[in-house]
Structure 1
Amino acid sequence: MEGEGINQNNMNPLGSESLVMYRRFIESIRSGIFMVNLSGVISYANIALANMIGHDTRAAVTGLNLFQEFFKSAEQKEAFLHEITNIGSKKIYEFKYRRPKDGLDMVLTMSGHYIRNEKGEAVGVEGVVYDVTDKAELEANLLNEKHKLELLLGLNEKVNSFKEMETLVNFVVDEISNILQAKRVSLMKFDDKKNELYIIGSVGIEDEYFKSVRVRLGDPIVGIVAEERKPLLIKNIEYESKFQRAKKLSYMGRSFIIVPILNDKKLIGAINVADKMPVHGREVSFDETDLKIVCAIGREVAVALENVELYKELNLLTVTDPLTHIYNYRKFSDSLEFEFKRLRRSKGTLCIMMMDVDKFKSYNDTYGHLEGDALLSGLGEILKSSLRETDVVCRYAGDEFCIVLPDSERSGAKKAAEKIKDTVESYPFKRKVTISLGVAQYEPGIEQKELIRRADKALYESKHKGRNQVFLYDPSMDVENGS
């Protein structure tokens, strides 16, 4: 140790025979033993310490700086040495260490004390390094299991509070990913008419192909699990000969869980969970505890999905006209309110259309109320088939209908109205039927009632100026009618 100011004899205070026995002993233990000067340069290290920092021989680490290897900053080293000075021994110094050779993340603890010369001056440090990665992982796993249980209880409380499918599904896949530390999670729904499963929500699946894929019952791997109604845990697919061919056809990774979602024995869907996040740089697999957690979540999700569907059906009944099977006035009012809020937040366009049947009373008197109802029902079908999916078609009252047309301007709305008028006129009802229509466009500053009034005014003009035509609202209409 020439040039370092350390007397080698002081670094090795034992006699030669005792030193040989001592070194044989420390070479046989699994803990890392070291001697360094005050700068941290290694003068002695046993093979266990050499292995810890990624070397095969003791000679390979002699001369390396242990403090630079273990401490991320000079402040950490000084704090360590200061505590030795004040206390005399560093009982437990725990730190995380990433081995440069292979990037392995480890948790180590180190204890040490000063080596002093005959004058009592500190000339170096000797100590022991323990690899406590497994212990740290065990403690982390225990805390993780507790955390999983807490999250699972929280999920169970929340999952049945959702009323919309999208928010429920997004919550479930996010929570499963969080609880199990999974890279990819998807929730699939079962289409009993096509006998297929399809993804309705996912985390970690970026490829649009996988989001749109449909899996038939009996097809690998999800289809098999769904058909058999039995959950599946794969710790490493490389050792599963049954699914060797199938793994190329799936987004599933090395380790995964698939759980069918069942309500009683009825298949509702499936939960897919793939690939755990690495722990300390090591690949880990799902285990039986993870499987039990997903099964428990699956039971809760089964009920929640059914409740959401039921709520959707009940909600649809409250906004659907029972005769025409299109939306009712309540839906018209809600949609208009939604569009007005949207237009206040951002620029856009909106038109509404109002229409009624010309001489509907005469049709009813001639053919009876049943045929009158059939006429109104037929008009509902014509309106739905003639307009965009984003347009909201409603029965306003009696033989009056109203349509909300988001992102439409006057010219486009008038063109759509003309198409509807022509379709109705050529439709084979009991006799020729015509309709009158009025269209109004949203303008900044007006209220919902004013937009409805304008469309109604345009409809009035259409009826009183010959019927079977489309009128766009114009302010002159108010003057002409004394409004």
Structure 2
Amino acid sequence: MLARIAQLEDRNRRLEILYETARDLSSTLQVGEVLDRLLDRTLQVLRESVGCILIHSETQGVLYLRSSRGLPWRRGGRFYMPLGEGISGWVGARREALMIPDVNADARFVLRGLERDIEGPVLSAPLLVRDSLIGVMTVSRGPGGEPHSHEDLELLEAIASHAAVEIENAKLHEETVALRYLDVVTRLCNYTTFQKTLLRELDRADRYGRSLSVVLMDLDDFKQYNACHGHARGDEALQAAADLIVAQARSSDTVGRIGADEFGVILPESDTKSANLFADKVCESIAAHSFPGPAGDVPGRLTASIGVASFPFDARTAIDLLDIAESAVFESKFSGKNRVSGIEDL
């Protein structure tokens, strides 16, 4: 009778833990916050000293660090674990939970990077949604820690199962929010975000007496490119052009897709000379690039007509800057395409 009562009390405790965990995680839709809350609560209820959560990247086939506790890893530090390697990679590849009495004595695992600092009894569980791998959560009690029980492993699996759904919901929410500000094809900022950013940066430049430049560009004859190679190749070409522009930009610059075949770049603290140098590099890189051909093996060619306008030299308002830059784009097109023009050419 006493044993049965103890079992029921333990079952109720675990149900309460799952309920509290689900309520805590569902109260936010920020992925980073969901992961941090999940790890903190798991360490608390399982009496662990260290832990980490790695998220699965399907495109790269790796797990990457998103949250850690008790490990000497700087916040924001990058750590990647290929599927099949280390503890997290083993669990992620097999999609099954794992209990290790002492990881230091287990010859199956060669630990590297972040996992080198995981010692003693270890539990690790996959974060799964309908058999799709979201990530892996690994926790440890450290050297000399109390061994885990099978009940501990079952509890971790239950927490991971509930948490994976909340993580997926948060990811979908963030992606939906991002679509309000980003272009779907290139993942650059969209026209609305570009306009708002320009107004903000222009206000800052005016307040502190700094220069600012706007660079607009059209891909020449892009409609014909689409007609010849197909819209799928056209989207690939837009993505490639976006990458070429970003490669020349600084982290402080804003790159956006502002039309079907139009891109814009905001260059804070850049005068006309600096903006022209940037525009020339972009123009040359696009002209030299082999874009996707009709069958993917025959290279296609594209060029860009580019216009530059600078604050406060050419104009002092966002509307005037964009008007001058756009007029300069048309001048580049009428002058033979594949070139850069400015107010001096109008």
Match of 2:68 in 1: 202
After superposition, where does 1:399-478 map in structure 2 within 5 Å?
Answer: 400-405=262-267, 408-410=269-271, 411-424=273-286, 435-441=305-311, 450-460=317-327, 463=330, 468-471=339-342
Kindly indicate whether the alpha-carbon contact (under 8 Å) linking 2:24 and 2:37 is maintained by their aligned counterparts in 1.
Answer: no
* Aligned match for 1:187, one of 9, 33, 53: 53
Q: Is the 8 A contact 1:188 1:201 kept in 2?
A: yes
For 1:260, the equivalent position in structure 2 comes to 126
Whether the aligned pair in 1 keeps the contact of 2:52 and 2:67 (CA below 8 Å) is yes
Alignment of 1:164-313 (within 5 A): 164-192=30-58, 195-207=61-73, 212-217=79-84, 219-237=85-103, 243-244=106-107, 246=109, 250-275=116-141, 283-313=145-175
- Distance in 1 (alpha carbons) for counterparts of 2:83 and 2:209: 42
Normalising by structure 1, we get a TM-score of: 0.50
Secondary structure, aligned partner of 1:246: coil
Q: Cα–Cα, structure 1 residues 323 and 427, in superposed 2: closer, same or farther, change >3 Å?
A: same
Partner of 1:94: none
Q: Is the 8 A contact 2:126 2:160 kept in 1?
A: yes
Query: Which sits farther off after the overlay, 313-322 or 412-421?
Result: 313-322
Whether the aligned pair in 2 keeps the contact of 1:231 and 1:295 (CA below 8 Å) is yes
Task: Rate the CA distance shift 1:296–1:377 in 2: closer, same or farther, 3 A.
Answer: closer
SS of equivalent residue, structure 1 residue 182: coil
SS in 1 for 2:23: helix
Q: Does 1:382 align with 2:249?
A: no
Instruction: Please give the TM-score of this superposition, normalised by the length of structure 2.
Output: 0.66
Task: Name the count of aligned residue pairs.
Answer: 310
Residue type at the aligned position of 1:258: S
State the partner residue of 2:295: none
Report the CA distance between 1:356 and its aligned residue. 4.2
* Equivalent-residue separation in structure 2 for 1:381 and 1:257 (angstroms): 43
Unaligned runs of 5+ in 2: 1-8, 292-299
**RMSD across aligned C-alpha pairs, in angstroms?**
4.8
Aligned partners of 2:154 and 2:257: how far apart in 1? 50
Distance 1:459 1:334, change over 3 A: closer
Match of 1:394 in 2: 256
Distance apart, 1:271 and its partner CA: 0.6
Name the counterpart of 1:370.
227
**Larger gyration radius, structure 1 or structure 2:** 1
Distance change >3 Å, CA 352–CA 288, structure 1 → 2: farther
AA matched with 1:158: D
Taking every aligned residue pair, what percent have the same amino acid on both sides? 19
The alpha carbon displacement at 1:186 in A equals: 0.4
- Amino acid in the other structure paired with 1:265: D
Contact kept, 8 Å, 1:438 with 1:460, in 2: the verdict is no
| Residue 435 (structure 1) shift | 1.2
| Residue correspondence of structure 1 range 49-128 to structure 2 within 5 A | none
How much has 1:415 moved relative to structure 2? 1.8
* CA contact 2:215–2:279 (8 Å) conserved in 1: no
Q: Which residue of 1 aligns with 2:296?
A: none
- The alpha carbon displacement at 1:324 in A equals 6.4
CA distance in 1, matches of 2:158, 2:226: 55
SS of the counterpart of 1:187? strand
2:214 to 328, 345, 353: 353
For residue 252 of structure 1, what is the amino acid of its counterpart?
Answer: I
Unmatched runs of 5 consecutive residues or more in structure 1? 1-141
